[in-house]
Amino acid sequence: MKSLIPTLILLSAGAIFAQSNSKGPDSPIAVGVVTAVSGDGKTVTILQGGEFHRDLAIDDATKVVFVGMVKDAREIQEGYGVKAKVKGGVASSINLTQPVGERASLGSDRHTLSVEQVLEKADDDGNGALDYVESAKWVYHSPKHGPDHFTKVDKDEDGGLDEEELEALLKTVSWWKYSRQSPDEWFALADVDGSGALSKKEFTAICSGKSHLDNHFKRADSDKSGSLSPDESAGYVMGLVQSGGE
């Protein structure tokens, strides 16, 4: 395990995207990049969603969290990613990430790798665990959801993921999850009535995003028949395995 401070929620400073509840100057969630910090450290200015600057006040009650940073990095700095809960202009919590930079690829054979092999490839500093920046760079590229998932799986809150914790994170990443079984196995899992085609209800068992079920199903149903053939199901699964999405 890494000898780091308690896990902190971090957002990539180079690739911040606004969430649905993080739009507008008075939104309760502020997602962006630090552009300025006041001399007394009580006000942080962020570029929210890449659209406008917003001042966030920090008081004694504000929970400031830094993810996977060494001690000398535990200071709000320009370029850090931010996800904050805000009320009346004051941040009740502000979660920070160091810049991740360009994402890196585990290679075209990533779907064949073991957890141990993923750890070995992504462990840039060679200390046997992945900090948030390494995780976001190599494994889970989502600046919106990656920090939250990282925090959930870092059970001992040391800021680094060992092999067991990394496996838990990988299970939340679509390309990893859907490469652990063949397309035929995924189809058999969902085809509970044995009809040889998946209804929308059956498709729910293998859909990667339940909140977008209708859109996923429509895209997978290429012949617009209202059900998915084995080939259509396989196309859906392989699309998830081969894509760069989370």
Fold of 110-173: Recoverin; domain 1 (1.10.238)
- Residues β-bridged to residue 66: 96
The matching CATH number, chosen from 1.20.1260.10, 1.10.238.10, 1.10.3720.10, 3.40.309.10, for 177-242 is 1.10.238.10
- Which tokens in the block code for residue 30? 């502020």
pLDDT class of 40 with cuts at 50, 70, 90: very high
Contact predicate 82/30, CB 8 Å: yes
The answer to whether residue 12 scores a pLDDT higher than 70 is no
- Which tokens in the block code for residue 243? 């894509």
* pLDDT given at position 10: 39
pLDDT class of 15 with cuts at 50, 70, 90: very low
| Sequence spans of domains, the chain | 110-173, 177-242
Q: What is the pLDDT of the chain when averaged over all its residues?
A: 87
The answer to whether residue 120 scores a pLDDT higher than 60 is yes
Host H or E run for residue 185:
helix 183-190
The answer to whether residue 18 scores a pLDDT higher than 50 is no
- Which tokens in the block code for residue 130? 């992945």
How distant, in Å, are the alpha carbons of 52, 78, 92, 136 from that of 21? 15, 24, 16, 23
Domains 110-173 and 177-242 share a fold: yes
Pairwise pLDDT comparison (182 vs 244), residue with the higher score: 182
Across residues 214-218, what is the average pLDDT? 96
For residues 177 and 240, give the distance between their C-alpha atoms in angstroms, rounded to a whole number.
9
The answer to whether residue 245 scores a pLDDT higher than 60 is no
